[in-house]
Amino acid sequence: MTPADQSAAARKICLMAPIIPVIVVKDVAHAEPLARALVAGGLPALEVTLRTPCALEAIRAMAGVAGGVVGAGTLITPADVRAAKAAGAQFGVSPGATDALLRACEDEGLPLLPGAATATEAMVLLERGYSVQKFFPAEVAGGAAALKAIGAPLPQISFCPTGGISPQNAGSYLALANVLCAGGSWVAPDAMVQAGDWAGIEALARAAAALPR
């Protein structure tokens, strides 16, 4: 899969809903009901971060949920890419980008949202063919104002900002011409997941899905 093909696939995923839930799964038993709640609420693209021992099992469980498109976040190494693809991940998200990581995703045919925080990083990825990228860490890297400024000379790049996005500031990102969607963890708060409050999570997802962009 070429970088251009990857970005085309990533664009379709990003356009599914205004928010991509960024999920940390601590108990694989929560994976399927969590995915069902988020998808039912209108958020079909799900990013499961590879930050817990059961993350790959969670991806495998979520991959069977009808209407969902499950991806793997926090991809760092080629081994992460291969493991995520084998578990059923349909896209990947990385905090940054290295040649080895990009090559692994291209070889595995895994659509990738590669991370960039500066104009230089975004330009390097664009030069390779990645026109859809993750802006991370969004708030720390200057927030919506910085992303708007980057967009002025680089309008051909579209972003999914992630990192510090909340219901309070999501609108300022989604209003930007170079933003397709945003990544947010507030739609799957740990306390509600641990309590099995799937109806509550579905309600949060429904509110996030209704955000204008």
Active-site choice (12, 47, 85, 108): 47
Active-site choice (85, 106, 108, 134): 134
Distance CA(106)–CA(33), nearest Å, equals 31
User: Is 47 among the catalytic positions?
Assistant: yes
Write out the two tokens for 60.
Answer: 């495998």
Secondary structure class of 196 (helix, strand, coil): coil
Listing DSSP states for 126-142 in one string gives HHHT--EEEETTTTTTT
User: Is 148 among the catalytic positions?
Assistant: no
Listing DSSP states for 75-115 in one string gives --SHHHHHHHHHHT-SEEE-SS--HHHHHHHHHHT--EE-E
- Just list the catalytic residues: 47, 134
